[in-house]
Chains A and B, each alone.
Chain A
């Protein structure tokens, strides 16, 4: 074989290799790029623990309030617009949330309730926040601030095109009123008759032509409560205390607070309790 023939053979091999690569590249699916991968490397997981006073609450939990035992059917809470303040700084810095089934970049859903112990997967409970911040920077955080709500634009947007968790129908009232920001469903069999009690917090006084139309302006009572917490150095998880939320509310005797009747006196007390420091604390 002369050198010219050898060169031709090399060329043929080279062209073949290129062609095979092209065929493979063109006919196989592209490996999806994990957009969160980079952020995950620089992320912090903040566990959220639910309590009633000293009693830790998880799946199918019970607690005593007002002398009666109550079953926790559902606790759900939207958290959005998370901001942090770094040590020796005065400005609040917005933090992105890592996207997953329970979080959009701006909004997360905490989800605890009955049934979640049957299949201990992330598919039916969520008790953590995944924050897009490096462990190093997190150590320098001196305070955290967030809203217990869904931001106005997302709150009243088309539920069809919203990403998870904003399209979970159990947390959606209607286009007019948007989402339930907080949902607490309790049941007791300790009274003469079974009693169900619910607290569904969301925006009310929203003006639009029908429940399937979005309001153009913020609702008369947006009911967006902001939580501001200084962050001790050693803290690792956030605690939510239902005893604080239900303080002075006689849930055995008063009707639920679902913002449907004017006479829901419990709504006022619950709002006061949310506004008083103590509902959420670092552990």
Chain B
């Protein structure tokens, strides 16, 4: 009888242990036909981790001095970018680059403007959270104080639902934030209705003419802003290859050899390969209307300025940069063609993306202990 009892207990333990359900798998809000992003095995997408990440993303208590949240520089109304040339950290430090939009970043082969080593959102997040030069969120040195702020009933429940127990740790903070950012998918622009849902009347005549220009060899836009995400390198369920997504667009040429301002020289800072001077990642054009100003340093204020920049084949001496991409060779547009191209870019705006409740701050934010 004793053996039978042991067996029964073993069976029960096995059944519970092997089949206990983790948090709810995340239901992607992705239209039929589009691939799902790659997700690290160590950080599976769950409804609960995304919900926790959303709360943390909009929570100023996550910064050292409580002055800023992730959403201070990544504002939903601006496609999670900031309408300033460059951002400021929680303590006032200048961040040298323009805040990138967070649109379909789960598909990016690499993250940030110019780094070929950040291949997951989890890695990239460490920079704004813990970086000290410049200080952005300012967590370094304030770790314990910040984690203590999340010892409230609200956050205990959120952490327990996402990760099985109530402990708030930075590993979980990073994973939850990455899950939320990965959930920010946008596929409901008029262009998507036209191209992928075959709705012939989804775009204006002008935008359709602009689309033909965009995909022409004459303008060559699509060489770097290609694929369903309008960026060169997208990794996802159907595509695991990582091709070269960094380009010098001829924005600067300080010495005739293609030099960029010392403050920000692009990919060369990481690779130390001189040919990578001034190379930055081609960002997605989805919701590009909302993420002005443009380029890595926010030095182009509007889409009109961007179109004029590429029509000129660069800016100032940058036009003659020996390091400039062969596909930024310039083109001539009539005034009507300029407007058509702009209308096409405006057709990439997904209103639902910026208005969606799940992409905005919780109406009743979880309480923190201050």
Residues 202-229 of A, flagged 1 when their CB comes within 8 A of B and 0 if not, give 0000000111100000000000000000
Q: Which 3 A-B pairs have the closest CB atoms?
A: A169-B226, A169-B227, A196-B326
Please name all residues of chain B whose beta carbon is closer than 8 Å to the beta carbon of A194 when the two chains form the complex. Answer: 322
A270–B242 CA distance with the chains assembled, in angstroms? 30
Q: Is B34's CB within 8 Å of the partner chain A?
A: yes
Give, as a whole number of angstroms, the nearest-CB distance from A227 to chain B.
Answer: 25
Q: When A27-B19, A210-B208 are in contact, do A9 and B215 touch as well, CB less than 8 Å?
A: no
Q: Is A73 within 8 A of B326, CB to CB?
A: yes
Q: Is B195 within 8 A of A12, CB to CB?
A: no
Please name all residues of chain B whose beta carbon is closer than 8 Å to the beta carbon of A124 when the two chains form the complex. Answer: 241-244
Q: Is B14 within 8 A of A161, CB to CB?
A: no
Q: Is B302's CB within 8 Å of the partner chain A?
A: no
A82–B51 CA distance with the chains assembled, in angstroms? 51
Q: When A158-B33, A161-B238, A260-B218 are in contact, do A27 and B18 touch as well, CB less than 8 Å?
A: yes
Q: When A167-B227, A170-B243, A259-B217 are in contact, do A26 and B19 touch as well, CB less than 8 Å?
A: yes
Closest A residue by C-beta to B246: A115
Q: Is A172 within 8 A of B217, CB to CB?
A: no
A165–B200 CA distance with the chains assembled, in angstroms? 29
Please name all residues of chain B whose beta carbon is closer than 8 Å to the beta carbon of A113 when the two chains form the complex. Answer: 244
Q: When A12-B4, A27-B18, A172-B226 are in contact, do A211 and B243 touch as well, CB less than 8 Å?
A: no
Question: What is the size, in residues, of chain B's interface with A at 8 Å between Cβ atoms?
Answer: 43
Within 8 A of A (CB), among B238-263: 238-244
User: B212: which of A163, A187, A211 is its contact (CB, 8 Å)?
Assistant: A211
Q: Which residues of A contact B (CB under 8 A)?
A: 9, 12, 16, 19-20, 23-24, 26-28, 73, 101-102, 113-115, 118, 123-124, 158-165, 167-170, 172-175, 185, 187, 189, 193-194, 196, 198, 200, 209-212, 258-260
Please name all residues of chain B whose beta carbon is closer than 8 Å to the beta carbon of A163 when the two chains form the complex. Answer: 238
Between-chain CB contacts (< 8 Å), 27 pairs? A9-B3, A12-B3, A16-B7, A16-B10, A20-B14, A23-B14, A73-B326, A102-B241, A114-B244, A115-B244, A123-B242, A159-B228, A160-B196, A160-B228, A164-B239, A164-B240, A164-B241, A168-B241, A169-B234, A172-B227, A173-B217, A198-B326, A210-B212, A211-B211, A211-B212, A211-B215, A212-B195
Closest B residue by C-beta to A167: B239
Please name all residues of chain A whose beta carbon is closer than 8 Å to the beta carbon of B244 when the two chains form the complex. Answer: 113-115, 124
A261–B11 CA distance with the chains assembled, in angstroms? 75
Give, as a whole number of angstroms, the nearest-CB distance from A171 to chain B.
Answer: 9
User: A210: which of B19, B211, B242, B320 is its contact (CB, 8 Å)?
Assistant: B211
Q: Is A258 within 8 A of B212, CB to CB?
A: no
Residues 208-221 of B, flagged 1 when their CB comes within 8 A of A and 0 if not, give 10011001111000
Q: Is B329's CB within 8 Å of the partner chain A?
A: yes
Q: Is B291's CB within 8 Å of the partner chain A?
A: no
Q: Is B163's CB within 8 Å of the partner chain A?
A: no
Please name all residues of chain B whose beta carbon is closer than 8 Å to the beta carbon of A160 when the two chains form the complex. Answer: 33-35, 196, 228
Q: Is B216 within 8 A of A260, CB to CB?
A: yes
Closest A residue by C-beta to B231: A169
Q: Is B170's CB within 8 Å of the partner chain A?
A: no
Please name all residues of chain B whose beta carbon is closer than 8 Å to the beta carbon of A20 when the two chains form the complex. Answer: 11, 14
Q: Is A260 within 8 A of B195, CB to CB?
A: no
Please name all residues of chain B whose beta carbon is closer than 8 Å to the beta carbon of A16 when the two chains form the complex. Answer: 7, 10-11
A200–B222 CA distance with the chains assembled, in angstroms? 14
Residue from the set B35, B223, B244 with the largest chain A CB neighbour count within 10 Å? B244
Q: Is B85's CB within 8 Å of the partner chain A?
A: no
A114–B325 CA distance with the chains assembled, in angstroms? 13
Q: When A124-B242, A168-B243, A194-B322 are in contact, do A174 and B329 touch as well, CB less than 8 Å?
A: no
Q: Is B241 within 8 A of A123, CB to CB?
A: yes
Give, as a whole number of angstroms, the nearest-CB distance from A189 to chain B.
Answer: 6
Give, as a whole number of angstroms, the nearest-CB distance from B258 to chain A.
Answer: 10
Q: Is B194's CB within 8 Å of the partner chain A?
A: yes
Give, as a whole number of angstroms, the nearest-CB distance from B273 to chain A.
Answer: 8
Closest B residue by C-beta to A16: B7
Give, as a whole number of angstroms, the nearest-CB distance from A91 to chain B.
Answer: 35
Residues 33-69 of B, flagged 1 when their CB comes within 8 A of A and 0 if not, give 1110000000000000000000000000000000000
Q: Is A23 within 8 A of B18, CB to CB?
A: yes
Give, as a whole number of angstroms, the nearest-CB distance from A81 to chain B.
Answer: 22
A259–B33 CA distance with the chains assembled, in angstroms? 31
Please name all residues of chain B whose beta carbon is closer than 8 Å to the beta carbon of A187 when the two chains form the complex. Answer: 326
A23-B14, A211-B212, A259-B217 are known contacts; what are 4 more A-B pairs with Cβ within 8 Å?
A19-B11, A115-B244, A168-B239, A174-B215
Closest A residue by C-beta to B209: A210
Closest B residue by C-beta to A209: B200
Closest B residue by C-beta to A126: B241
Give, as a whole number of angstroms, the nearest-CB distance from B5 to chain A.
Answer: 11
A212–B222 CA distance with the chains assembled, in angstroms? 13
Q: Is B185's CB within 8 Å of the partner chain A?
A: no
Please name all residues of chain A whose beta carbon is closer than 8 Å to the beta carbon of B359 when the two chains form the complex. Answer: none
Give, as a whole number of angstroms, the nearest-CB distance from B56 to chain A.
Answer: 30
Please name all residues of chain B whose beta carbon is closer than 8 Å to the beta carbon of A159 when the two chains form the complex. Answer: 227-228
Please name all residues of chain A whose beta carbon is closer than 8 Å to the beta carbon of B208 when the two chains form the complex. Answer: 210
Q: Is A24 within 8 A of B18, CB to CB?
A: yes
Closest A residue by C-beta to B19: A27
Q: When A115-B244, A124-B243, A163-B238 are in contact, do A196 and B228 touch as well, CB less than 8 Å?
A: no
